[in-house]
């Protein structure tokens, strides 16, 4: 189970299975039900999560009570409200399971101790954040570069399987438009294909 995490770490840095075994006590295995919140906007954010199975999303509440999704996490991604987690502030985002999920969690205190005891893990997390940062920049690039329709097509062609797994409402929110407009797009494209 936690073997998946070991593989993931080993893909980035040199690590012995002995070292990994010694680190295990810092991690906890968690079973999460669909729609369960792991981090809640406005509450402290004490854990960081690694997805073994299923999927998570991150969103914040808009003034009219809607949920604006800004990220997804699937297998092999870490997710939390990084800012709140690292600074010990209250969360600006909610992290919620989209499907039943298995995740590994680590608390802020354990993370600090882990990094102190196994400094080579700094390198692993440096790479993780480097990649997350790069991905977030590309996200911004696409938001500006593509029209809503292009953005949808781009995402649909990049993650055809994932798109089947998630409610259109959430997808529309992630892409930055209304579910109504997504309906319109799909209808238009279905007609076009005939």
Partner DNA sequence: CGGAAAACTTAAGCTGGTTTAAGAAAGATG
Partner DNA sequence: CATCTTTCTTAAACCAGCTTAAGTTTTCCG
Residues of the shown chain interacting with DNA in the complex, contacts defined by CB under 7 A = 34, 147-149, 167-170, 176-184, 186-187
Distance separating alpha carbons of residues 49 and 120, to the nearest angstrom: 20
**What residue 137 binds from a second copy, DNA, none (CB within 5 to 8 A, per partner kind)?**
a second copy
Decide: is 109 part of the binding site for a second copy (CB under 8 A). no
> Which of residues 82, 156, 166, 170 is near a second copy by CB under 8 A?
82
Is residue 86 within 8 A of residue 39, CB to CB? The reply is no
139 touching a second copy, by CB under 8 A:
yes
d(CA 70, CA 61): 11
Half-sphere exposure of residue 107: CA atoms within 13 angstroms, side-chain side: 7
Q: Which is nearer to a second copy, 22 or 61 (CB)?
A: 61
64 phi/psi in degrees, rounded to 5? -90, 25
Tokens, residue 99? 């499907």
Could you tell which of DNA, a second copy, none binds residue 161, using a CB distance below 5 to 8 A set by kind?
Answer: none
Q: Is 107 helix (H, G, I), strand (E, B) or coil?
A: strand
Q: What whole-number distance in Å separates Cα of residue 151 and Cα of residue 175?
A: 7
Among 3, 7, 31, 83, binds a second copy (CB under 8 A): 83
By CB under 8 A, tell whether 143 contacts a second copy. Answer: yes
Residues near a second copy (CB under 8 A) are 60, 62, 68, 70-71, 82-83, 86, 92-93, 115, 119-120, 122-123, 125-126, 129-130, 132-134, 136-141, 143-145, 176
């Amino acid at each position: 189970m936690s073997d998946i995490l070991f593989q993931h770490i080993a893909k980035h840095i040199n690590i012995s299975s002995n070292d990994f075994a010694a680190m295990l006590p810092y991690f906890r295995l968690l079973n999460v039900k669909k729609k369960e919140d792991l981090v809640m906007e406005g509450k402290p954010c004490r854990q960081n999560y690694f997805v073994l199975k299923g999927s998570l999303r991150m969103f914040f509440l808009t003034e009219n009570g809607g949920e604006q999704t800004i990220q997804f996490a699937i297998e092999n991604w870490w997710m939390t409200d990084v800012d709140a987690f690292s600074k010990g502030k209250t969360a600006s985002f909610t992290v919620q399971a989209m499907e039943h999920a298995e995740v590994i969690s680590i608390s802020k205190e354990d993370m600090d101790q882990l990094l102190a005891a196994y400094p080579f893990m700094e390198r692993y997390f440096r790479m993780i954040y480097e990649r997350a940062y790069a991905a977030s920049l590309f996200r911004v690039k696409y938001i500006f570069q593509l029209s809503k329709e292009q953005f949808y097509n781009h995402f649909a062609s990049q993650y055809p399987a994932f798109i089947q797994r998630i409610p259109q409402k959430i997808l529309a929110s992630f892409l930055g438009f209304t579910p109504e407009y997504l309906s319109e797009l799909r209808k238009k494209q279905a007609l076009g294909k005939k």
